[in-house]
Amino acid sequence: MNKNKVQLLNKRYKAEKRFRLYGQSAIFMALLFLIIFIFKIFSTGYSAFQKTWLIVPVTFDAELMMLEQNPSKEDLKDADYYDIALKSMADLDPNANENQENELKRMVSYFFEREIKRELLNDPSLIGKTKDVYLTASDDLDQVFKGNYPRDLPEDQRRVTDYQLKIFDQLVELGKVESKFNLSFFTYPDSREAELAGIASSFMGSIFSILVCLMIAFPVAVLAAIYLEEFAPKNRFTDFIEVNINNLAAVPSIVFGLLGLGILLAVFQLPRSTPLVGGITLSLMTLPTIIIACRASLKAVPPSIREAALAMGASKMQTTMHHTVPLSMPGTLSGTIIGLAQALGETAPLILIGMVAFVNTIPGSPLDPAASLPVQIYIWAESAERGFVEKVSACIMVLLGFLIIMNLFAQIIRHKFEKKWS
Amino acid sequence: MKKNGVKMIKISSKNVDVFYGKKQALFNINLDIEENQVTALIGPSGCGKSTFLRCLNRMNDVIDICSVKGQIIINDFDINDKSCDVVRLREKIGMVFQKPNPFPKTIYENISYGPTIHGMAQSKNEMDEIVETSLKKAALWEEVQDRLHEPGTGLSGGQQQRLCIARAISVKPEVILMDEPCSALDPIATAQIEELIDELKKDHTIIIVTHSMAQAARVSQNTGFFHLGELIEHGSTDKIFKNPENKKTQDYITGRFG
């Protein structure tokens, strides 16, 4: 081998080595960003799954509750719990003055009255007795207990007063502060109070929107794709339709939001802020994604299968329905799920059609006002309270979990139902 | 086969022209196909023999730009006539393709598909019988009787092709078109299929397109030689191979081109 050839060969090897290095560093960069992102979200968000409770002795004083002798269940429901609730908080410091009693009351959520009521309704024999009751700590004390609160700030720049901190520290020392799994994050609707805010309303809103979206987008898209791919004549008009479907897939989502606002709300007068309108708007967005996926998987069905069916005397319709469509279903379904996952993460169009409204009820149908998970993230990210910071990350974690499950499902469908043909 | 000494003509094509868009692929084809005989169509690649074959069950309808002119008469009926229903036509004229193309379903479903859509079986028993006879006729029964409910795509290439033949004969067609049925198979599988073709001609008229002249000589009674879209010569296989009239035919047969 002459020298020139050896040089050329070496050059070739080096070029390949360099190229591999570029590729590896690109992957490394991508992974690094992903890890930073996930680490950031988990490190701020994991604490939201814990909630701080104050264990406060409550005396169920019949007189304070305005209860007669032998009260019925109805009486217990109508009783006045505010006074005993207030008294049990005030009793935490027997020497407290009126101001301090107020501060003591603000150490727990404004739900404390209901939490005490629930305790008694569960066990009516508590009347006249004293029992330790778990009360939700205020969001600021929750943050103090989790170590996220800047205690060393001067008092006038904090929402937690020195007095509250002193009592809280005493309770911690007595073991009267406990951290438990934050079930209410999943079962409560949104709230202005961080300690009571949950994702139930936005989660249900997302589910309803996605269902409405699926029920509209899937049949329309699949029928359109089958017609275009298998039946429509190939001419300028169908070319024009095809180009427009591809363009539709590239339209920014906020434009669909404007469409929803201008047509669904203004013209058709559909109820504002509801998953119904959200789902219809999202289905417009998902439609081209599913059409494209469905057409691609119809195209991937080998023509030999169609010919085999036609040669057996199957009609066009039978060929399509018995052979082509079933074979294209795995691709169509995974495309659908990916389209739905996109829709699930969509925020802008939902904000435009009013799903950004503060909703503190859990929607029971697509016609009830609701938020959605990404919009909930947006709402909480805008809130000033310290307690919402971890909630934003926790909500992102729920959304990501949802998306990962959906994508996993798409993968499974693809692998499980994919058929091999010769 | 001769009836009272007269050859029965099953298919007769008259002045058939085929166009792909503006390009003419077949020029004025006049060919009579005898009943219960094997007719081989030979010729170099792109000569139009497959195109002609696909005219006989109107498979060219699938291709948008393809148009067929002229008459193709089967059982005194012009299949290019508007009143002809392709579904009925293809029930009578089965087809086997170049590459084995079983449905990605079970062996049983592959066979039962045709009889199902044409409503040929009233009960499960009848269907079982159709499946069994079809597979037996295609010389596949022995090999697959224990695994009828396994996917047809799991068979070997030769078995798949015999499955396709079984599928084609399941609807009892009068004619079977075969488009290079052995080109994707090894010599042993090819020999099995050729034997099968010989067997099938008792009940069916067979038209086979083949690249292999040896195969044409082995299996067919009649041969048509296509070149550049024209039917150069046709007649009994013996005559075409031993004593061709046309120079082009002779050149092709002797391997001077193609």
What pLDDT score does B51 carry?
92
- Provide the shortest C-alpha distance from residue B95 to chain A (in Å): 6
Q: What is the pLDDT of residues B61-75, one digit of tens each?
A: 888 888 899 999 998
Work out the minimum CA distance from B153 to partner chain A, whole angstroms: 6
pLDDT of A54 over the 80 cut: yes
Buried b / exposed e over B89-112, threshold 16 CB at 10 Å, is bbbbbbbbbbbbbbbbbbbbbbbb
Q: Which of B64, B99, B114 sits opposite A312 (nearest CB)?
A: B114
Looking at the complex, does the CB of residue A259 fall below 8 Å from at least one CB of chain B?
Answer: no
User: Alpha-carbon torsion B88, B92, B98, B101, what sign?
Assistant: positive
Tell me the domains of chain A and their CATH numbers. 52-180 (no CATH), 200-417 (1.10.3720.10)
Distances (CA, A) of A168 to A54, A93, A217: 9, 11, 54
Q: What is the pLDDT of residues A280-315, one digit of tens each?
A: 999 999 999 999 999 999 999 999 999 999 999 899
- What's the mean per-residue pLDDT of chain A? 89
Considering only CA atoms, which of B111, B9, B19, B5 is closest in space to residue B60?
B19
Q: What confidence tens digit (pLDDT) does each residue in B78-90 have?
A: 988 888 888 889 9
Which chain A positions have a beta carbon within 8 Å of B153's beta carbon?
A: 419-422
Contact B104 A305 (CB under 8 A): yes
pLDDT at position A391, please? 92
Over range A170-198, report the average pLDDT.
89
Domains defined for chain B, CATH in brackets: 2-102+168-253 (3.40.50.300)
Residue A103, amino acid: E
Residues B29-50 pLDDT 10s? 999 999 999 999 999 888 889 9
In tens, the pLDDT along A32-51 reads 999 999 999 999 888 899 99
- Is a pLDDT exceeding 70 seen at residue A420? no
Q: List the single range of A156-160, A205-209, A303-307, B231-235 with lowest mean pLDDT.
A: A156-160
pLDDT for A12: 93
pLDDT at B125: 93
- B167 contacts in chain A (CB < 8 Å): 308, 312
Q: Do A311 and B153 touch (CB under 8 A)?
A: no
The beta-carbon neighbor of B153 closest among A307, A309, A420 is: A420
pLDDT digits (tens, 9 = 90+) for B202-236: 999 999 999 888 899 999 999 999 999 999 999 99
Contact A245, A288 (CB under 8 A): yes
Q: For the sheet with B38-42, list strands across it.
A: B93-96, B175-179, B205-209, B38-42, B222-227, B230-236
Any bridge partners for residue B236, and if so which? B222
What residue in B sits closest to A233 (Cα-Cα)? B64
Spatial neighbors of A330 by CB under 8 A, at least 6 apart, are A297, A413, A414, A416, A417, A418, A419
Q: Give residue B161's pLDDT.
A: 92
Closest residue to B64, CB basis, from A234, A306, A422: A234
Distance between B114 CA and the closest CA of chain A, angstroms: 6
Relative to beta strand B66-74, strand B9-20 is: antiparallel
* pLDDT: which is higher, A418 or B163: B163
- Interface residue A322 vs chain B (CB under 8 A): yes
- Average pLDDT of the residues of chain B: 89
pLDDT score of B253 more than 90: no
Token pair, residue A88, equals 């049990």
Out of A53-57, A60-64, A222-226, the most confident range is: A222-226
pLDDT digits (tens, 9 = 90+) for A65-123: 887 777 788 888 888 888 888 888 888 888 888 888 888 888 898 888 888 888 888 88
Tell me whether A304 touches chain B (CB under 8 Å): yes
Q: Judge whether residue A422 has pLDDT over 60.
A: no
How confident is residue B2, by pLDDT bands cut at 50, 70 and 90?
very low
Give the pLDDT band of residue B1 (cuts 50, 70, 90). Answer: very low
Q: How does pLDDT run across A8-21, given as a tens digit for each residue?
A: 999 999 999 999 99
Question: pTM of the predicted model, to two decimals?
Answer: 0.83
> What pLDDT, on the 0 to 100 scale, is given for residue B5?
53
One DSSP character per residue, A350-409 reads HHHTTTTS---S--SSTTS----HHHHHHHHHH---THHHHHHHHHHHHHHHHHHHHHHH
Q: Is A306 close to B168, i.e. CB distance below 8 A?
A: no
Residues A206 and A9: their CA atoms lie apart, in Å, by: 59
Asked if A177 has any chain B CB less than 8 Å from its own CB, the reply is no
Mean pLDDT of B96-118: 92
pLDDT digits (tens, 9 = 90+) for B124-180: 999 999 999 999 988 899 999 899 999 998 899 889 999 999 999 999 999 999 999
